[in-house]
Structure 1
Amino acid sequence: MQDTAWFLFLGLLLTVMALAGSVVKRVPLSAAMFYLVAGYAIGPAGLGLLGLELPPGARVVERVAEVAVIVSLFTAGLKLRVPPGDRRWLLPVRLAFLSMAVTVGLIALVGVYLLGLPLGAAVLLGAVLAPTDPVLAADVQVTNAWDRDHVRFGLTGEAGLNDGTAFPFVFLGLGLLGLHDLGAGGWRWWAVDLVWGLAAGLGTGWALGGGAGRLVLYLRRGHQEAVGRDNFLTLGLIALSYGLADVLGGYGFLSVFAAGVALRRVEMQESGGASREELRERRREVAEDHLATDPDTAPAHLARQVLRFNEQVERIGEVAVVLVLGSLLSLSALAPAGWWFAPLVFLAVRPVAVWIGLVGSGVTGHQLRLIGWFGVRGAGSVYYLAYALTHGLPEPLASEISRLTLTTVAVSVVVHGISVTPLMNLYGRTAPPQTGK
């Protein structure tokens, strides 16, 4: 009977969201808010269809969030059609590294002095909540590969990078709690967890994304082979990038993001720097059956098909991870301190960290405030929480950090979901014109 109930529930939920999708986009609500309520309804506090609890169910939660994040990271990388050496990358890089570190530090201070946590647990809490989300933040990310807006480009690039740059701080927190080897004087953390982890992750993804893209285009242009399996290519490249980076000791999240960026870079190079209008004109001149193999259209067609498929998978991942989040939100899972802690994170910690990270960047005050506000927390935080729980985080720290994280993420889903439509519509009417191809 429970299996039947699952079919009925998922069928009803997905059908309703498909029919109401266009309406949701016009009102100050987000799809994630509906999934959150639905998840709560099927959780232990509701119908009991999904009985996950933390920490016992941490391994399952970790896997669900992990898959959702890596799919979204690849999508984010594919959307950023900007050369690696372009100055526009400075904005997301500063957010993902400098603002990330400041966020961890500020939350750690709050954890020690206001929540009474040990230093290691406070650093871990900061690392769990510092990364912004590539899964739930789609409404504030770039709308297409040619979107050059500072706010959307910065938030997309930040979400793509900081789900990986958070890992060294997670290890630092676990190490200070005695759950991870930091090395004498912290040498292992600096050399392995920080430098090697970041470099190996980015390098692996860049090599695989670029190599796969060039190989597929060579086979299609020269031999009319490797056609019609773009969905397999997408999933295979994501899995290879993530798995190989892990084998090499790098961060798979960074690897998957870099693979997406590299694949888009191949498209840019092979398209000869053509503008969006020029690529559209090329498509009109080539028969539909030959778009994948024609030398002039093959690069853009490959990137377009991979991105289109990945965006569909990403939506499924969003449903899964928010349903799980909602199911975890019983009254016992909410932290009493969360009701002042979450506003502090969103209204003070995030804006201060963004301001410090972007001093002298040239963004306008309005853009700075929007970037500071839309530090959406979601699947990345859920993943890191579950990761810490599966690596021996002891009680009562496990319960306290779980409640604070789940409360903060749930508040983010609601307040950012309500504010995204009106604020981004207002920004769209006042944003400076975009430049570049």
Structure 2
Amino acid sequence: MHGAVWFVVVGLLFVVMALAGSVLKRLPLSTSMLYLAAGAALGPLGVGLLHVDVYEQSEIWERVTEIAVVVSLFAAGLKLRTPFTDGGWMLPVRLATVSMLVTIGLVSLAGVYLMGLSPGAAILLGAILAPTDPVLASDVQVTDAADSDRLRFGLTGEASLNDGTAFPFVMLGLGLLGLHELGENGWRWIAIDLLWAVAAGLGTGIVLGTLVGRLVLYLRKTHREAVGLDDFLALGLIALSYGAALLVMGYGFLAVFAAGLALRRIERTAAAGDEPPDEVLAAATSPDAEKLATDPEKAPAYMAQAALGFTEQLERIGEAAVVLLLGGMLSWAFLPRDAIWFLPLLFLVIRPISVYAGTVGAGATPVQRRLIAWFGIRGIGSVYYLTYAMQHGLPEALGRTLAALVLAAVAVSAVVHGISVTPLMKRYTQSSPDAA
């Protein structure tokens, strides 16, 4: 009977979301808010049907959030069509490096001097909370591959890059806690965790994305083979780039994002920068799909668009599953006292300071900088890093302390950013011709 109830609950949730999708776009609500509310209603705050313990079930949580993040990163890479040489990349790169470092530093200071955490625990907390989220931030990301608005491009690129660039600092925090080898004077952390792992992750994704993409196009355009099953192509490239990066001790998150970028680069290069033809954008289920997939001129655009469409569907399912379960963890007893002052500090002080430090000279307008400062959405990436640390031997007492702060931050972010995203982005679009 319990299983039957869950089928009914999940089925009703998905049907309601499908029916209300167009309405949500006009209201100050986000899908994440509704999933979170549904999870809370099913959990200890509601009927008590859902019981989730992130520490006891950290292995499962690590895998679930890992899958959700890599799918979202691949989709984000496919959406970003701007050439690597374009100056527009300066904004997301600086947000994912300078702003992220400032965030980690300020959170660490708060952890040590205001919460009484050890330096290792404080750095770990900063690294867990530093990344913005590519999953829950979908409402402020680029809408499609032709969207070049600086605000949405910056937020999408930041959320995609800093899910990988935060990893070295997670390892640093674990190392200072005695749970990871840093090497004498930190040489191993600098050489392997910082320099090699970042470069290896990006390089692996670019190489595999380019090789697989060119192979598929060669078979389609020359031999009319390898047509169909573009969903398998997307899943295969995600798994291949992620696994290969881990095998060479690189960061898989960066590899998956880079693979999506490489696949999109093939399409953009073949089209000489022109936007994908309209018939390609709507061809995933049309009778002309095979014809477009093997057309010498349109095959690259079709391949990229088909892969993007499939991964976006997976991304929505992953968001629903993870945020629903996250809501099932919430209870008044779970809310830590430190969250009452720490979360306003994080969202209203630390995030704006870090964004302003990272965007100086990056070409963003004052309005764009203010919106970027507000939309520092925390989400599934932070939950992944939390459970990753737990799986690397984080003591239970410290693990539960960090979990309370991190999950509270994600829940609050889903609510306050979910309420504000529709009116703020609508106002921005109306006031900025380039954003339309």
- What TM-score, normalized by structure 1, do the two folds share? 0.96
Report how far residue 13 of structure 1 moved.
0.7
CA deviations 1:253-294 (Å, max 9, x no partner) are: 000000000000011112233234xx2378899955411001
Q: 1:314 to 1:211 in 2, by over 3 A?
A: same
Which runs of 5 or more structure 2 residues have no equivalent in the other structure? none
Alignment of 1:168-183 (within 5 A): 168-183=168-183
Report how far residue 390 of structure 1 moved.
1.2
Name the residue aligned to 1:302. Answer: 303
Pick one of 259, 267, 280 that aligns with 2:278: 280
Distance in 1 between the 2:219 and 2:105 partners? 49
Name the residue aligned to 1:9. Answer: 9
**Cα contact 2:375–2:417 (8 A) shared by 1:** yes
Range with greater deviation from structure 2 (211-220 or 386-395): 386-395
CA deviations 1:285-305 (Å, max 9, x no partner) are: 995541100101111111111
Q: 1:282 to 1:162 in 2, by over 3 A?
A: closer
Which runs of 5 or more structure 1 residues have no equivalent in the other structure? none
Name the residue aligned to 2:421. Answer: 420
Q: 1:115 to 1:19 in 2, by over 3 A?
A: same
Report how far residue 216 of structure 1 moved.
0.5
CA deviations 1:114-149 (Å, max 9, x no partner) are: 111111100000000000000000110001111111
Name the residue aligned to 2:406. Answer: 405
CA deviations 1:159-203 (Å, max 9, x no partner) are: 110000110000011111111111000000000000011001000
1:150 corresponds to 2:145: no
Report how far residue 91 of structure 1 moved.
0.7
Report how far residue 343 of structure 1 moved.
1.1
Distance in 1 between the 2:281 and 2:433 partners? 30
Name the residue aligned to 1:240. Answer: 240
Q: 1:283 to 1:95 in 2, by over 3 A?
A: closer
Name the residue aligned to 2:318. Answer: 317
Query: How many residues are matched?
Result: 433
1:91 corresponds to 2:80: no
Matched residue SS, 2:328 = helix
Alignment of 1:73-152 (within 5 A): 73-152=73-152
Matched residue SS, 2:434 = coil
**Cα contact 1:58–1:386 (8 A) shared by 2:** yes
Name the residue aligned to 1:251. Answer: 251
Distance in 2 between the 1:159 and 1:281 partners? 30
- Which amino acid counterpart does residue 138 of structure 1 have in structure 2? S
- Which amino acid counterpart does residue 278 of structure 2 have in structure 1? R
Give the CA RMSD over aligned residues: 1.7
**Cα contact 2:136–2:377 (8 A) shared by 1:** yes
Name the residue aligned to 1:211. Answer: 211
Distance in 2 between the 1:153 and 1:235 partners? 24
- What TM-score, normalized by structure 2, do the two folds share? 0.96
Q: 1:282 to 1:228 in 2, by over 3 A?
A: closer
Distance in 2 between the 1:252 and 1:402 partners? 23
1:42 corresponds to 2:39: no
**Cα contact 1:205–1:241 (8 A) shared by 2:** yes
1:372 corresponds to 2:373: yes
Name the residue aligned to 1:266. Answer: 266
Distance in 2 between the 1:251 and 1:47 partners? 40
**Cα contact 2:40–2:330 (8 A) shared by 1:** yes
